[in-house]
Structure 1
């Protein structure tokens, strides 16, 4: 707004674009309902504050039937799905077969293979900044391990991993091996150019 207008004219002048203010926020700028104050030294008047993106899983826990083959494999042999997930989370330190044998052995001797797969869910949640409440992740595996394994499998697929049986970490594309499945912004060829 133009500062040369008298006070009465400022109220009648039409508002154009939001203005940028570099002043420190006053106590009236705080959001008293949430109890938080703006800490940026520069913000746009009239525009809402940007909230951080809340991390979420690519698919829901009970969307198992979106991928019937994985659902069937996981229902009858959860150690196979776990082996594929663990190989990707560990970046190919061991082949999926080693993880299959480890999970199957723990499952056979103790009946608690879900604890190992819950550990990898927590590890995956921390790695990809997904909801990482360890207690919830452990309970999900204790209550419904097949659903949790299917969700993790679909999450890795959504991140670009080729999860077909036998492909493994070494069979992934170079982009996936470099980024590790982290979502990166696409590169624009030539950047932004202003043409007149």
Structure 2
């Protein structure tokens, strides 16, 4: 696990949070995630989603990453490299209806 990178990212996010700019940091990764997997942008821009409800946006981003097999301990770059090697860019297949 790359503890130094995780710690550094946490400190940056916390410092930006105190400055009121954490949503700008979070929305960059949301935009990268959408671009990598070809996800459509919703009716609200990424930056505004993070401004309105940062915790909800982070949970959505995390859930999307976990559904695609991301390992948070690897970091963003290592996961992107893993997905590129495996050719994973399509969204996961979900069962239709409420029975899942």
Q: Which has the larger radius of gyration?
A: 1
- Matching residue within 95, 102, 105 for 2:5: 95
- Superposed CA RMSD in Å reads 3.2
Larger RCO of the pair (alpha carbons < 8 Å, separation 6+): 2
Counterpart-to-counterpart distance in 1, 2:43 and 2:12? 22
| Equivalent residues, number | 87
C-alpha deviations, 1:126-146, integer Å up to 9, x for none?
A: 121111369621111110010
Unaligned runs of 5+ in 1: 1-91, 185-196
Would you identify which runs of 4 or more consecutive aligned residues in structure 1 move more than 6 Å?
A: none
How far off is 1:178 after superposition?
Answer: 2.1
Unmatched 5+ residue regions in structure 2?
92-100
Residue 117 of structure 1 contacts residue 141 of structure 1 at CA under 8 Å; is this kept in 2?
Answer: yes
Is residue 48 of structure 2 the alignment partner of residue 150 of structure 1?
A: no
TM-score for both structures, normalised by structure 2: 0.66
User: Hey, which of these two has a bigger chunk of helix by percent?
Assistant: 2
Q: Deviations over 1:72-97 (max 9, x none)?
A: xxxxxxxxxxxxxxxxxxxx9x8222
1:119 to 11, 28, 41: 28
State whether structure 2 residue 70 is matched by structure 1 residue 168: no
Distance 1:97 1:181 in 2: 28
